[in-house]
A and B are shown apart, each in its own frame.
Chain A
Amino acid sequence: MTISFDYTLLQWFGIYTLPGLAYVTYNMIKLYRERNSKFVNDMLLAIHNKTSTQKRIEDSIAFGAAAICILVAWPAFIVWWLMQKREEPEVLDDEDEDDFTCNIGNLVSEVTPIEAEVFNQVHDPLGKVPKLPFGHLNKAWGCLLAEMTEPTDQLWSFFIPKGSDIGTYLTATSEVRGYVIVRKGKIVDELVVESD
């Protein structure tokens, strides 16, 4: 009795697995390059107990199983990867996003430029302030108004109570008051008229 083996089928299967093999190799190299430093490993060892042999075996089996799955079913992984890519939220470039003190939640009311100017007359008995709306900040106020270029632009007053979050990382160490230009629901420019 002889066992016949279809080598042509094996060759085609080998060719079929090449993209999967490339993907597995790429990820192995990536994992190796992003491996923890000795310092991090020492820290992890200090925090947890030394990695057990059982854990290492489990990891090896998991890696092996994943590699076999990718080799065999790489087209499905490509489809999955494309779907994941599409669902990922667009990451805003910090350079493109202006960093304002005020956010939409701090807006108080929409005002006209005249109303803002009437509200921001500065009085000083010693006369050490220009007799202009917003006093020494009058030039900055002019710059803010110059940014109102779209017909639908709105001028809003804002107020941030002491202790509130400012942006992602900061906390207001004093009350903050000012004005912003809102365009299509987004803040596009800001003037802080009162803060520490």
Chain B
Amino acid sequence: MTAQVHEELLYEGKSISLCTEPLALYLKQNKIRFASPHTACWRGYVGSWQIIEAEGAERLYLVGIEAHEDYETILRLPDLFPGFDKVFAHWFTGELRCPQGELLDYVHGGYASTYEYDLMMEFKQGVLVHKYAIHNKDPNTEENSD
């Protein structure tokens, strides 16, 4: 499986990439499937997300999407969520993994590549409850040192 295109997250004025697909549950529950435009995007869409603070809590919103209904037809946010310019991801409970820093080890599959560190953001029903960082080591260097 080819390495997959990352979702994009806007957070604290920065654009960072995501190794998580927060829209997956919504699509599955609504039985929505998109066409894959190429092998680096089997899910058929790329979403843009933003964490916005409101009433003292940081929440996760889908702010844009490019989804392939078929190879040529691209659907955007208003097509999927009519009447909404942003979509509160209240279904998302879990962790967003945001790879940061230098690419230490490229793996040609999924989101398996290793970066210098992963910023982990834990959400409960779309609300950010905890964040922390994991510092990674180059798996190849670790193997050599054993």
A positions within 8 Å CB-CB of B: 122, 124-126, 128-129, 135-137, 139-140, 173-177, 191-196
How far, in angstroms, from A187 to B95 measured CA to CA in the complex? 28
Q: Is the Cβ of A136 less than 8 Å from the Cβ of B91?
A: yes
Q: Is the Cβ of A193 less than 8 Å from the Cβ of B91?
A: yes
B31 to chain A, nearest CB (A): 8
Q: Note all chain B residues with C-beta closer than 8 A to A191.
A: 29
Closest to A129 in B: B88
Q: Note all chain B residues with C-beta closer than 8 A to A177.
A: 93
Question: Which listed residue (B22, B29, B52, B85) contacts A137, Cβ 8 A?
Answer: B29
B94 within 8 A of A: yes
A–B pairs, 30, beta carbons within 8 Å? A122-B88, A122-B90, A124-B90, A125-B55, A126-B59, A126-B61, A128-B84, A128-B85, A128-B87, A135-B88, A136-B87, A136-B90, A137-B26, A137-B30, A137-B91, A139-B30, A140-B29, A140-B30, A173-B95, A175-B94, A191-B29, A192-B25, A192-B28, A192-B29, A193-B29, A194-B91, A195-B25, A195-B91, A196-B22, A196-B92
A126 and B52 in contact, given A191-B29, A192-B29 (Cβ under 8 angstroms): yes
A124 to chain B, nearest CB (A): 4
Number of B residues contacting the other chain (C-beta, 8 Å)? 25
B132 within 8 A of A: no
A128 to chain B, nearest CB (A): 4
Q: Note all chain B residues with C-beta closer than 8 A to A173.
A: 94-95
Q: Is the Cβ of B93 less than 8 Å from the Cβ of A194?
A: yes
